Amino acid sequence: MADYKDKDTYQFVGEVNQINPTSLKAAIADGYIPVLTCMAESEDGQVLNVNADKAAAELARALVPLKIVYLSEKGGIHDKETGKLIEAINLDEEYDEYMKKPWVIHGTRSKIRDIKTLLDDLPRSSSVAIIHPEALERELFTHSGAGTLIRRGTKLQQASSLAEFEDVSKLKQTLVRDREGFDSAAVVDRYLESLNTRSFRAYFDENMEALAIVLPPTDSSKLAQLATLTMTRSAWLSNIADNVFQNLKRDFPKLAWTVKQDDENLTWFSEKADGSIARRGEVLFWYGIESPEEVRELMSEFVQHGRQMFGDINLESQLHRAAAAAERIRAGAANLMGNRPQQDKQQARGFSTSARPARPSVTSAITQKRGYATTTNPNPPLGIKNSDKDYPSKVALIGARGYTGQALIDLLNRHPNFDLCHVSSRELAGQKLKGYERKEITYENLSPDDVRKMAENKEIDCWVMALPNGVCKPFVDAIDESGHKEALIVDLSADYRFDSNWTYGLPELVQRGKIASANRISNPGCYATAAQLGIAPLIPHLAPQPAQPTVFGVSGYSGAGTKPSPKNDVQNLTNNLIPYSLTDHIHEREISSQLGQDVAFIPHVAVWFQGIHHTISLPLAEKMVSRDVRQLYQDRYHGEKLVAVRGESPLVKNIAGKHGVEIGGFAVHSGGKRAVVNVTIDNLLKGAATQCLQNMNLALGYAEYEGIPLE
């Protein structure tokens, strides 16, 4: 709908006053692409000509899209002083600056102003692209885009001295972030002290999701050096990284920096550079160097000296040296241990008598992560880097009759560093343990007093409680009272999942360093593990409460345990699906507590033996599309050996007997405000036994996935 602009002056020209999107949404829902003319209707039925840009803006306000594309023969906005295409404009930071430019007049000025007015009314994730018609396909179907991208962006702050930072402690935390390792905090302290004696310029956003520190050119070199760059995952996803580099290119015509060759964002860095060269796992990037002689000189120096060509100004170099020193110390200690007389070795590593050594809070031998903190996974696997122990640990399993206990026994049978010494089951006491081939073991019926005495003698390094809910406390109390504080306890029941003195053992979502230093670990529930992994990447994008995710879960009957009941009666389950505990299930509380987000959980049991399927409905705060949702999951779980993100919906028959979790089937409602995700997990493995072994590996100092079959 439209009003006359000025009927006497302009006659049949109007101003849009109302949008009715019903027919547009109906056409889209039917699979059509609506094509509109710049015509609107007045209240009296007269067709009026309306401005195309303003009509598009009003449509955007009504439809709230992620991106608005303007087609222009110019292919974007060009800087008339340089003649170059402006690739991006971040309005929050650059709008006032552009409005002052002498060439921003007439149509260009009104276009930028109107786009700002439009984006101010839309979610921050929305943007406007001005492109040539020939570039439409590239803009829509590639990540690189085309033309000029205009977005709200993030306003960056600058500092050229430590005194200009409001919170230096936050600066330190930012520099240590994703760079945990030997002496990293002390290395950062020394690095900041060195900045007091040299010129630098720092770029950062208000929350320090992104931080770049640049050393400006000197008398001896006209090349600025990017000394450190750290970005959180959300900074990469919200394009703050692009904003940072726009500032760098504006302030430093010539810049060089180094990146590890295995960096996940290597392609992005390449797009920002004019050239690059690789050497021994490192890549040197640069821009602004036009002279062939300068390029040859730079490349020659890098080939000869690597990143040391810049001197001792690179934080990543200092962190790598600290980690390398720790590795040499560890290797020397291991070598010294290896050269001891055999008798000394046996005393130091007595298989039957050694106490479990205290675990440091941070594994000193962990090699530093990539040079630039750019991983999209904020909690990447430790893998073999967690391995700092080269002798076996003694294990006792309390409650081995159930399916989970049997699955764990099978895994322990294949683990090179776990010595299963005691297996307790009241019902199976006196019988031979089946499935454990490394030695003959007889089931015992251990009481809490028996456990206390064994703990006092420090006979066991790791106690696994595979008991029903509400049963294991006397055994835990007995170990606590024994004084053997170093002993690890992993509880597979729900008894300690809400106890803050215990560490929740979901390595993909809980900081692995916390699990590695824990001696009381509560293993998550099977339903809860799959649900949390299926929801976590979208937590920042969920609609505010009371809207909440809903998890429709279906488990095989092994989840009902071995005690006969209607939920594990195959005859009762055949051609049937049994709902139970439809509200206030303990897993509903567990999932909500761990995610910090209310979640509705609706469990069912089906006729298959093992395996769980979740269909999760997630209300979104802002409109999204399925490919963006999938990308969030791929980024969050990058590098995880036990989480597979797929395009298609995972199936229970494919997950049974497997040790990981599969996430897929990403769908978004046509309205853009509700996502649906499917998750499958084997309830006996990653839902219980495999996760237990993963936690044991981390806490006892072995490679994270040791003894776990990986596919």
Q: What is the pLDDT of residues 473-529, one digit of tens each?
A: 999 999 999 989 889 999 999 999 999 999 999 999 999 989 998 999 999 999 999
pLDDT value, residue 340: 45
CA angle 18, 63, 24 (to 5 degrees): 80
Poorest-pLDDT segment among 84-88, 344-348, 459-463, 655-659: 344-348
Q: For residue 564, what pLDDT is reported?
A: 67
Mean pLDDT in the chain?
Answer: 84
Mean pLDDT of 357-385: 51
Asked if 14 and 50 touch (Cβ cutoff 8 Å), the reply is: yes
Between residues 556 and 335, the one the model is more confident about: 556
pLDDT on residue 601: 97
Lowest average pLDDT, out of 33-37, 108-112, 132-136, 370-374, goes to 370-374
So which residues are the catalytic ones? 526
Tell me the two tokens of residue 628.
């963006």
Q: Read off the pLDDT of each residue in 640-662 and give the average, rounded to a whole number.
A: 95
pLDDT of residue 336: 47
In this predicted model, what pLDDT tens digit does every residue of 325-340 receive, in sequence order?
444 445 554 444 444 4
| pLDDT tens-digit series, residues 434-484 | 989 989 999 999 999 999 999 999 999 999 999 988 999 999 999 999 989
Helix or strand run (H / E) with residue 225: strand 224-231
Mean pLDDT of the 309-332 span: 55
Return the higher-pLDDT residue of 127 and 675. Answer: 675
Is the pLDDT assigned to residue 541 strictly greater than 50? Answer: yes
Sheet (strand 127-131) strand order: 67-71, 127-131, 148-151, 88-90
Write out the two tokens for 552.
């429709």
Higher pLDDT among residues 663 and 122, named by residue: 663
Percent of the chain with pLDDT over 70: 87
Q: What is the Cα Rg of the chain in Å?
A: 31
How many whole angstroms separate alpha carbon 21 and alpha carbon 6?
Answer: 26
Domain at 526-683: CATH architecture: 2-Layer Sandwich (3.30)
pLDDT at residue 302 greater than cutoff 90? no
Q: What is the pTM of this model?
A: 0.52
Half-sphere exposure at residue 331, Cβ-oriented, CA atoms within 13 angstroms: 8
The predicted structure's pLDDT at residue 283: 85
Cα–Cα distance measured from residue 475 to residue 101, given in angstroms and rounded to the nearest whole number: 75
The confidence score (pLDDT) of residue 582 equals: 94
pLDDT tens-place string over residues 182-215: 466 777 888 888 888 888 899 998 888 889 999 9
Q: Is the peptide bond before 102 cis (omega within 30 degrees of 0)?
A: no
Record the tokens describing residue 624, joined without a space. Answer: 């999204």
Banded model confidence at residue 310, pLDDT cuts 50, 70, 90: low
Please give the pLDDT value at position 141. 63
DSSP secondary structure letter of residue 78: B
User: Which option is the CATH number for 2-151: 3.40.50.620, 3.30.2130.10, 3.20.20.70, 3.40.1160.10?
Assistant: 3.40.1160.10
Q: Which residues contact 257 (CB under 8 A, 6 or more apart)?
A: 225, 226, 229, 269, 284, 285, 286
> Closest by alpha carbon to 275, among 249, 296, 250?
296
Instruction: Specify the CATH class of 156-319 in words.
Output: alpha beta
| 3-state secondary structure (DSSP) of residue 220 | coil
Check residue 672 and give its pLDDT: 94
What are all long-range contacts of 98-106, with beta carbons under 8 Å and residues at least 24 apart? 103/79
Q: Please report, for residues 391, 423, 659, the alpha-carbon distance to residue 436 in angstroms, rounded to integers and kept in the order given.
A: 20, 11, 19
DSSP3 helix / strand / coil % (the chain, rounded to 5):
35, 20, 45
Q: Which CATH number fits domain 383-522: 3.30.70.380, 3.40.50.720, 3.40.50.410, 3.90.650.10?
A: 3.40.50.720
Which residue did the predictor score with more confidence, 186 or 231?
231
pLDDT at 257: 87
Domain residue spans of the chain: 2-151, 156-319, 383-522, 526-683
Q: pLDDT band for position 170 (50/70/90)?
A: confident
CA distance 579 to 604: 4
Q: CA-to-CA distance for 508 and 529, rounded, in angstroms?
A: 10
